[in-house]
Amino acid sequence: MVETVLRQSPLSTCHPEVGALAEIGEAGAALRERPYRTKVNLRGDAADKAFLKAVAGATGIELPLEPNRTAVIERQFGPVATLWLGPNEWLFTGAPDQAAALVEALDGALIGRHAAVNDLSGSRTTIELSGPRHLDLLAKGCALDLDLAAFPVGACAQTHIARALVILHRTAEDRVEIHVARSFAEYLWLWLLDAGAEYGVVTLAGAP
């Protein structure tokens, strides 16, 4: 795979690989790029039981049907989270370099069905925002109610932070993943750093 050697993430120039922090320490919030993570988009009819069954059969994933919720399964290479994006749209996210296998499995299982599978791993990068003040930082640019009761662990949402469209995914009580289109990534990164200055935001070394 030439790609894994030559590729460059959209934020690779924003977080120094040398001398970057590994841990958040005492800071109120931390940013970290999680580059190259697998992102596969699936379109299909949620009302079609055979479609749901075919997906589950090929991947072991029961597609979440409740809006703005995720389903997570564990795999050898780590967890695969399936995000509800719409009544007929989902996004699989997981460790890097799993897209080809996932697309192949899905395409194979969905032959003859009305579905669309697209590898979008290169189209977005992931920013992980964590720390005790991460929700305050997010609230500066995001109009969603991010209270734990309204946006619990496992919740996801398509919305915008400042002027960038994002997919938010709350992965733990103290962190969210932000999937952002690659051309907007640098803007959002700089925006988050600016907004986080009040909380002493720090940049952590990128890690998938």
Partner 1 sequence: MLLIECPWCGPRDEQEFGYGGEAHIARPAKSAALDDAAWADYLFHRTNPKGLHFERWWHARGCRRWFNVARDTVSHEILAVYRIGEARPDIADGDR
Partner 2 sequence: MTTAFRTAKGGRIDRSQSIGFRFDGQNYWGNAGDTLASALLANGVHFVGRSFKYHRPRGIMTAGSEEPNALVQFGLGDRTEPNARATVVELHEGLVAASQNAWPTLGSDVGVVNSWASRLIPAGFYYKTFMWPRFGWKFYERAIRHAAGLGRAPEGKDPDHYDKMHAHCDVLVVGGGPAGLSAARAAAMTGARVIVMDEGPEFGGSLLSETAEIAGRPAMDWVAGVVDELAERSNVRLLTRTSAVGYYDHNFLVAVERVTDHLAAPPEHLPRQRLWKVRAKQVVLAQGAIERPLVFADNDRPGIMMAGAARSYLNRYGVKVGNRVVVATNNDSAYAAAADLHDAGVAVTIVDIRDEPTGGDLPLAAFGKGIDVLSGHAVIGSDGGRRVEAAYVAQISPSAKRIAGSIQRFECDAILMSGGWNPSVHLFSQSGGKLAYDRERTIFIPGETRQQARSTGAAAGDFSLVDALTDGLAAGLEAAADAGHRKRGGRPQAPAVAPVITVPLEPLWSVPGRDPRGRTNKHFVDFQNDVTAADVALAAREGYLSVEHLKRYTTTGMGTDQGKSSNVNALALMAAASGRDIPEVGTTTFRPPFVPVSFGALAGRNVDHLADPVRKTPMHRWHETAGAVFEDVGQWKRPFYYPQRGEGKQAAVNREVRAVRNSLGILDASTLGKIDIRGPDARKLLNWVYTNAWNKLEAGRCRYGLMCHEDGMVFDDGVTACLDENHFLMHTTTGNAASVLGWIEEWLQTEWPNLKVWCTSVTEQFATVTICGPNARRLLGELCGDIDLSSEAFPFMSVREGHVAGLRARVFRVSFTGELSYEINVSADCGLALWNACMMAGEKFGITPFGTEAMHVLRAEKGYIIVGQDTDGTVTPIDLGMGWAVSATKDFLGKRSLARAATAAPGRKELVGLMTETPTDVLPEGAQIVEKALESAPMPMLGHVTSSYYSPNLGHSIALALVRDGRNRIGETLEVPLPERTCRVRLTDPVFFDKEGARLDG
Q: Do residues 208 and 36 lie in contact, with contact meaning Cβ atoms separated by under 8 Å?
A: yes
Q: Which CA distances in Å does 204 have to 16, 19, 207?
A: 9, 9, 9
83 binds, among partner 1, partner 2, none (CB under 5 to 8 A by kind): none
62 binds, among partner 2, partner 1, none (CB under 5 to 8 A by kind): none
Q: Report if residue 186 touches partner 2, rule: CB under 8 A.
A: yes
Q: How many CA atoms lie within 13 A of 83 on its CB side?
A: 23
Nearer to partner 2, 58 or 72 (CB): 58
Where does this chain touch partner 2 (CB under 8 A) — which range of 50-58, 68-76, 133-141, 168-176? 133-141
Determine the distance from the C-alpha atom of residue 21 to the mean position of all C-alpha atoms in its chain, rounded to a whole number.
22
Paired tokens of 179:
């999937």
Interface ranges with partner 1 (CB under 8 A): 67-68, 85-87, 89, 143-144, 157-160, 165
Q: Do residues 66 and 84 lie in contact, with contact meaning Cβ atoms separated by under 8 Å?
A: yes
Q: From 38, 35, 33, 34, select the one nearest 9 (Cα to Cα).
A: 35
Q: Map the footprint of partner 2 across residues 48-87, applying CB under 8 A.
A: none
**Nearest-approach distance from CB 154 to partner 1, in angstroms:** 16
Nearer to partner 1, 21 or 144 (CB): 144
67 binds, among partner 1, partner 2, none (CB under 5 to 8 A by kind): partner 1
